[in-house]
Amino acid sequence: MAETKSAKPRGELAELSAQLQNLCTAGKRSEKELKNAKKDVFKKVINYMTLGMDMSALFPMMTSCANLSSDDLVLKKMLYLYLTHYASQTPDLALLTINQLQKDSADHDPMIRGLALRSLCSLRVTNFLEYVVAPINTGLSDRHPYVRRTAVMGVLKVHHIDPGTVAQQGMVERVKRLLQTDTDVQVIANCLAVLVQLEPPARLAEKAFVYSLLNRIKEFSDWGQCQVLEVASYYVPSSEAEVYDMLNALEDRMGHVNSAVVMATIKVFLRLTINMTATHQQVLERIREPLKTLISREDAPTAYAALSHVLLLAQRAPVIFEADAMAFFCRTHDPWFVKKLKLEILAAIASSTNVYDIVTELTEYARDISPTMAREAVKAVGRIALAVPDSGGIVERLLLFLDSGSEHLVAEALVQLKDVLRRYPDAAHAVVGGLGELGVQGGIAEPDARAAFVWILGQFGGLVPDAPYLLEPFVEGFAAEDSAVRLAVLTSAVQLFFRRPPETKPLLSAALVAGVADANVEVRDRALMYFRLLRADRSAAERVVAPPLVAVPWFSEALSAEARDAVFAEFNSLSVLFQQPEAAFIERAAYHSLEAEPEPAAPELTSDLLALEAPELLGADRATNLLEDVDGSDSAGPGGIQADLLDLDIGAPSPQSSGGLGGLGGFSGLSVPPAMPGGPLAGYGGPAGPGPGMGSGPGGFPAGQPGPRPQPPVDPFGGLSALGVGPGGPGPMGGPQQIPYGAPPPQLGGGPGGMLGQGMGMGPGPAGPMGGPGPRPMGGPPAPRPPMPAPGSGFAPSPGPGPYPGGPGAGPGGPRPGGPPAPQPGGMGMGMGMGGLIDDGLGGLGGLGAPAPAPAAPAPQRELALNPTARVAPAEFQAEWKRLPPAHASSQPVSGPNVAAITANNHRDFTQHMTQAYIHTIASGGQAPNYRYYFYGQAAGPSPSPLFLVEVLLRADPSGGGSGGSLATTVKATDPAQLPAFLEIWGNCLTGFLLMG
């Protein structure tokens, strides 16, 4: 059998290795042929190395092959390039080349000496410094200037690796001596470059030394001239005559062909005359033509750098370029980044003398085929409208963009009009008149434009006849809007309420409900803040939310005067291109530091759930919150604990409130509205029927009268039944009563309801204030529903009495002067019982009075944070479930849509939602109509941590008619003391899902 030959390695590396091995022996080739063959192979290695291929395995062969031809300079250059590239990766092999490099640094050829010294300094291996110091010291005193130049730059490279070695060897002092005594201008330029980085440049700027450099500046290369001018810019002349002498000496540098030299000269001129106002103005006029020459170059990067400096100067002194606006008009072949900068310059230099020409040109750019360019043109017109005092004609141009029919132009014009109205509120009469015809609700998708439109409606709703109706679609689609739009909708709804109460009342109710149920913490907090302001003091709320609009003289997006001065002090640097001081983008760390960065400290474990889910809110001082309930009416429980703005529980109203939305004067029907003909806003303020009500108290069961439905022992929602799920309790906030497990349950409706209190449960309520049906016992036949409003009606008139009979949402619900509040039964409609909201002609806020005495404080509860990475095995869960007794059990009705939401997507939506609160699912499933879910949560902290096990049994309506069902919850805990805290977390998460469902 023939012997199997071993396969030869294939690939570029194997091929090059074989070629290098063959080149180590001359063979029959001549010396010239051998050198050429070596050069070809070395070129291939360098080429592959440049492409990113790893050629470090060829290190020994490359060194051996080059040493055999030590007199070939080209071959040595390629070898040195290879060595410096792979020295840090293979320091052991690089050590073998140190002797050869040291030998070459003493070669008779100055080029080889300089190349060897540069390669030694570029190895960047800390252990090799001892072999580099001696060649550098020798090179600083070498007879050839090329070696001295290389040695000077080697000092800086060694300083980056180990500054102590440079100080110990006295290299800096030797460089300073070379700076004063050397005759070669390139050596002097290198010395300047090194010393400027090692110490403050002002130390070098001595009169005699600066004058000697300026007298020889023409002998330097372009790069050397920039170094000389950089040092000269730090010199402080002693007299004005000395300033003029330096300006005259550098006058010809303004016309240099190199743009770097021109910019460095401009920097010297500006710095020397900064304290000479008249001369500085002349300098600004002098540098205008050189800058115009630079920006007209075809080299786009050079033009961009020059334009960046022009923009900085135009922001400081726009009068310089006012007459040259046409020089900044965009050319067709200009790159996009150059066009954008030119538009900013045009906006900066616009004045009453050239504004017409500039705006006309920008209007042409708005027709550009590129949407980005068109939007930047509209933005530039908006900036000009802010800067030029007589902006009437400019605002008309912006209004013309609204009629263009182009979505991106309309969107940008709306954003700019908002800023114009903030600067010039008096222009509102000419601006907002035709906004109702824009069709922003469905035609504009950009969040910034939609938010700007909503802001205008809120601020100037009195000038827009259809403002509430234009805002209505935004409230209907509240959940689908961007967070910025949702925040604007909340603010505008409150502002419109103060300006047009009858029309906006149901809109405000709907917006607050949607905001309180929103998952975004900022939206939810703003909705709660507005509610609490309205409940506490309507006039104070108006002063806070809807004060007279004050003109804004300066926008935070613009660069402040201090920052602009800091950038100007760093003229001719990256600070001008980035438009921010160097401290904003440069890290003060050792350059080329070889030390590993310290690992960030592990965050401390916190027991605050807010710290885990919203760490950005930790900086807020809850104890001194400006919006906390100082009168105790917003207490979080029987103890009158003052509720924080971020707390979802909302406390009881004062005795003179009419229930429902407390101080809002009778929002007793603030509820999650069911589907109605005509959209989500249909029926607000109309007749009420059975269903999920959001207000009992005075608007629910009368005080002292037992309700038809018993309450579970402990509210499984931790006091959050006020937000839409589960029956509310008789506490001051509709929150839970702490009743031991197994104790007889209390009856529903023991006292006045809270703002979003007891009656926000998802069960049938008694008769509403607008003529709805009365209560019925559980399991009894449903009461007849009153007729629905007409589809699409938007706002349904209410039959109840009120200050605006027949108006939207009018009806009893607020207190009446001269007597105590009459209890009103709660119902379902969003605007029911809101008549008190507009008492006294402007909303009244329903009889704000003295707060009710606060009940005794409950025992403090420990805060609980759940472990987001907790893991419990199924066997462990079963064992703990069998061992632990039930610690809490409750049952609540759920609506048909909630049943569908829980079981949708194979239960994944429900279980994934619970995971957001770090409550993990271990099992779920079942068959209709019964479904079971098992969850667990574990407290964060050292092991063993408290464990909480939850069983949820969902019993849907067997008939399948979508009428709902019931949700039974059983909780077991290894630490009963932390059970209330866990129930609060559980209730928050479950409530949020059921509200969304």
Instruction: State the average pLDDT over residues 519-544.
Output: 93
Backbone angles phi, psi at 942, to 5 degrees: -65, 150
User: Which segments of 811-895 does DSSP mark as H helices, in order?
Assistant: 874-883
Cβ distance 758 to 748 under 8 Å?
Answer: yes
Alpha-carbon distance of 947 to 940, in angstroms, equals 10
Alpha-carbon distance of 929 to 601, in angstroms, equals 51
CATH number at residue 916: 3.30.310.10
Is 70 exceeded by the pLDDT of residue 286? yes
Choose from 654-668, 708-722, 935-949 the range with maximum mean pLDDT. 935-949
Closest by CA to 348, choosing from 324, 372, 374, is 324
Closest by CA to 694, choosing from 666, 670, 719, is 670
* Tokens representing residue 447 in the block: 């969040």
Closest by CA to 511, choosing from 318, 618, 666, 667, is 667
Alpha-carbon distance of 930 to 928, in angstroms, equals 5
Q: Which long-range contacts (CB under 8 A, 24 or more apart) does 187-192 make?
A: 187/145, 187/148, 187/149, 187/152, 188/213, 188/220, 188/224, 189/220, 189/221, 189/223, 189/224, 189/227, 189/228, 190/149, 190/152, 190/153, 191/152, 192/224, 192/227, 192/228, 192/230, 192/231
Q: Which long-range contacts (CB under 8 A, 24 or more apart) does 776-784 make?
A: 776/690, 776/708, 777/708, 778/708, 778/709, 782/690, 783/689, 783/690
More confident: 29 or 415: 415
Amino acid at 658: S
At residue 243, the pLDDT reads 93
Alpha-carbon distance of 971 to 714, in angstroms, equals 11
Return the percentage of the chain with pLDDT > 70, whole number. 68
Question: Could you report the per-residue pLDDT of 651-669, keeping only the tens digit for each?
Answer: 333 333 333 333 333 333 3
pLDDT band at 601 (very low <50, low <70, confident <90, very high): very low
* Tokens representing residue 448 in the block: 């910034």
pLDDT band at 860 (very low <50, low <70, confident <90, very high): low
Of 62-76, 265-279, 442-456, 493-507, the range with the lowest mean pLDDT is 62-76
Is 70 exceeded by the pLDDT of residue 506? yes
Q: What are the beta bridge partners of residue 965?
A: 894, 956
- Cα 939 off chain centre by: 30
Complete edge-to-edge strand list for the sheet that includes strand 965-973: 888-894, 965-973, 947-956, 930-938, 920-927
Is 90 exceeded by the pLDDT of residue 309? yes
Three-class SS state of 981:
helix
At residue 375, the pLDDT reads 93
Instruction: State the average pLDDT over residues 220-244.
Output: 93
Is 60 exceeded by the pLDDT of residue 854? no
pLDDT band at 384 (very low <50, low <70, confident <90, very high): very high
pLDDT band at 861 (very low <50, low <70, confident <90, very high): low
Cβ distance 971 to 950 under 8 Å?
Answer: yes
Amino acid at 527: A
**Residue 414 located in a structural domain:** no
pLDDT band at 363 (very low <50, low <70, confident <90, very high): very high
Question: Could you report the per-residue pLDDT of 35-59, keeping only the tens digit for each?
Answer: 888 888 888 888 888 888 888 888 7
pLDDT band at 902 (very low <50, low <70, confident <90, very high): confident
Distance between first and last Cα of the chain: 78
Is 60 exceeded by the pLDDT of residue 806? no
List, in order, residues 6 or more apart from 363 with CB less than 8 Å away. Answer: 377, 381, 397
| H or E element in which residue 68 lies | none
Alpha-carbon distance of 997 to 994, in angstroms, equals 5
Of 282-296, 454-468, 490-504, 619-633, the range with the lowest mean pLDDT is 619-633
Instruction: State the average pLDDT over residues 385-399.
Output: 81
Alpha-carbon distance of 432 to 581, in angstroms, equals 40
Chosen domain end from 498, 517, 549: 549
Q: What are the beta bridge partners of residue 956?
A: 965
Instruction: State the average pLDDT over residues 643-647.
Output: 31
Task: Please say whether the dihedral angle defined by the alpha carbons of residues 555, 556, 559 and 565, taken in this order, is positive or negative.
Answer: positive
**Residue 23 located in a structural domain:** no
Instruction: State the average pLDDT over residues 669-695.
Output: 37
pLDDT band at 717 (very low <50, low <70, confident <90, very high): very low
Closest by CA to 516, choosing from 731, 720, 769, is 720
3-class secondary structure per residue, 565-576: HHHHHCCCCHHH
Whole-prediction pTM value? Answer: 0.59
List, in order, residues 6 or more apart from 536 with CB less than 8 Å away. Answer: 629, 631, 633, 663, 848
pLDDT band at 786 (very low <50, low <70, confident <90, very high): very low
Strand 965-973 and strand 930-938: pairing?
A: unpaired
Instruction: State the average pLDDT over residues 429-456.
Output: 80
* Tokens representing residue 318 in the block: 């726009």
Alpha-carbon distance of 458 to 21, in angstroms, equals 82
DSSP characters over 764-829: --S--TTS------TTSPPPPPPPPPPTT-SB-B--S--SSTTSBT-SS-S--TTSPPPP----S-
Is 90 exceeded by the pLDDT of residue 641? no
Cβ distance 685 to 770 under 8 Å?
Answer: yes
Diameter over CA atoms, the chain: 123
Neighbours of 817 (CB within 10 A): 8
Question: Could you report the per-residue pLDDT of 561-596, keeping only the tens digit for each?
Answer: 888 889 999 999 999 999 888 888 887 654 444 444
Of 371-375, 855-859, 968-972, 984-988, the range with the lowest mean pLDDT is 855-859
The half-sphere exposure of 345 on its side-chain side, counting CA atoms within 13 A, is 29
| H or E element in which residue 899 lies | helix 896-903
More confident: 388 or 230: 230
Distances (CA, A) of 893 to 466, 603, 698, 730, 913: 41, 42, 23, 18, 20
Amino acid at 839: D
Helices (H) and strands (E) in the chain, counts: 39, 7
Question: Could you report the per-residue pLDDT of 157-177, keeping only the tens digit for each?
Answer: 999 988 899 989 999 999 999
At residue 876, the pLDDT reads 87
- What average pLDDT is seen over the chain? 74
Instruction: State the average pLDDT over residues 677-684.
Output: 38
Three-class SS state of 129:
helix
pLDDT band at 911 (very low <50, low <70, confident <90, very high): confident
Instruction: State the average pLDDT over residues 348-374.
Output: 91
* Tokens representing residue 74 in the block: 């080209």
In degrees, to the nearest 5, what angle opens at C-alpha 866 toward C-alphas 945 and 863?
90
At residue 270, the pLDDT reads 94
Is 90 exceeded by the pLDDT of residue 483? yes
Of 248-262, 402-416, 635-649, 658-672, the range with the lowest mean pLDDT is 635-649
At residue 80, the pLDDT reads 84
Of 440-449, 730-739, 875-884, the range with the lowest mean pLDDT is 730-739
**Residue 307 located in a structural domain:** no
Task: Please say whether the dihedral angle defined by the alpha carbons of residues 448, 449, 453 and 456, taken in this order, is positive or negative.
Answer: positive
Closest by CA to 843, choosing from 457, 504, 516, is 504
Total domains in the fold of the chain: 3
Q: Which residues form the domain of 207?
A: 200-297
**Residue 981 located in a structural domain:** yes
The half-sphere exposure of 427 on its side-chain side, counting CA atoms within 13 A, is 22
More confident: 236 or 862: 236
Question: Could you report the per-residue pLDDT of 962-976, keeping only the tens digit for each?
Answer: 667 888 999 999 988
Question: Could you report the per-residue pLDDT of 83-123, keeping only the tens digit for each?
Answer: 888 887 778 777 877 888 888 888 888 998 999 899 888 88
**Residue 62 located in a structural domain:** no
- Cα 725 off chain centre by: 33
At residue 612, the pLDDT reads 36
More confident: 14 or 531: 531
| H or E element in which residue 539 lies | helix 538-545
pLDDT band at 843 (very low <50, low <70, confident <90, very high): very low
**Residue 804 located in a structural domain:** no
Neighbours of 685 (CB within 10 A): 31
Distances (CA, A) of 705 to 309, 393, 666: 78, 68, 20
Query: In the 8-state DSSP scheme, what is residue 635?
Result: B
More confident: 448 or 796: 448
Chosen domain end from 531, 549, 567: 549
Q: Is the peptide bond before 805 cis (omega within 30 degrees of 0)?
A: no
Closest by CA to 206, choosing from 173, 185, 180, 244, is 180
**Residue 477 located in a structural domain:** yes
At residue 57, the pLDDT reads 82
Is 90 exceeded by the pLDDT of residue 789? no
Strand 947-956 and strand 930-938: pairing?
A: antiparallel
Query: In the 8-state DSSP scheme, what is residue 953?
Result: E
More confident: 709 or 143: 143
Alpha-carbon distance of 845 to 887, in angstroms, equals 43
Chosen domain end from 504, 530, 549: 549
**Residue 271 located in a structural domain:** yes
